[in-house]
Amino acid sequence: DLNASVQLQMLWVEPGTFSMGQSEISSAAPVHDVTLSKGFYLGKYEVTQAQYQSVMTGNTDSLSATPSTRYNGNANRPVETVSWDDIQIFLSRLNAQQSGNIPAGWSYVLPTEAEWEYACRAGTTTAYSWGATIATSNANYSSSGLSQTSDAGNYAANPWGFFDMHGNVWEWTADRYGTYSSGAQTDPTGAASGSYRVGRGGSWSYPGTSLRSASRYFDTPDIRDIGIGFRVGFKQQ
């Protein structure tokens, strides 16, 4: 519970191994095996405007608790126009506010790129978690006719119960952007250096190809855009 009326629902993801990437996407090649050695929690939904406001109200960092610009005032829509840097402040405040409820060694974080794709694929190997092709009934993207964000959970969940992993808003991850290697990896955390952070999942303004499980977006950590939001992870460090 973030407050008396706002909850942050999370789902447990078991550890495991999967094939990360897609050979047809230049930035997501080569496909390589990734093992996640520890389970983690991940938000069932993208962080909503109501959830963001409940954590950020009263912050002393000169950040708006209601940053969404074009679609502000829609409590159940994903928050957007938040930078990667803004989210670090959100996470610090969330961890402080929930400190009495958090086990030692655990914290709220952005998921790594590998954790995000693992949860998005949810055991599938196709381009999307529902299959090889996309239709407007699957997700909110440029062909859906909405031309804006939609309420979190407006489309069917993936096989593990996560909503809107494809479309609605891009979701920032913890990782710096870097090219993939072909070798198997365990618990990868992205490039060791670099100016860009990675977003995943596509958005309401992007074509269906950008919603593929392996598709990658990258930008500077200070960028704010009406198509970029995030999803919260919770894990043992």
Question: Cα separation of 199 and 170, whole Å?
Answer: 6
Count of helices and strands (H, E) across the chain? 3, 11
Q: Cα angle vertex 218, ends 62, 26, to 5°?
A: 175
For residue range 18-56, list pLDDT tens digits in order: 999 999 999 999 999 999 999 999 999 999 999 999 999
Query: Which residues in the chain come in under a pLDDT of 50?
Result: none
Please, are residues 33 and 184 in contact by the beta-carbon 8 Å criterion?
A: yes
Q: Cα angle vertex 59, ends 235, 151, to 5°?
A: 65
Instruction: State the CB neighbour count (10 A cutoff) for residue 126.
Output: 13
For residue range 126-138, list pLDDT tens digits in order: 999 999 999 999 9
| pTM given for the model | 0.97
E strand map for 32-165 = 32-36, 40-43, 106-109
Q: Could you tell me the strand order of the sheet in which 40-43 lies?
A: 10-13, 40-43, 233-236, 106-109
* pLDDT value, residue 219: 98
DSSP 8-state secondary structure symbol assigned to residue 103: P
- And the tokens for 211? 């919603």
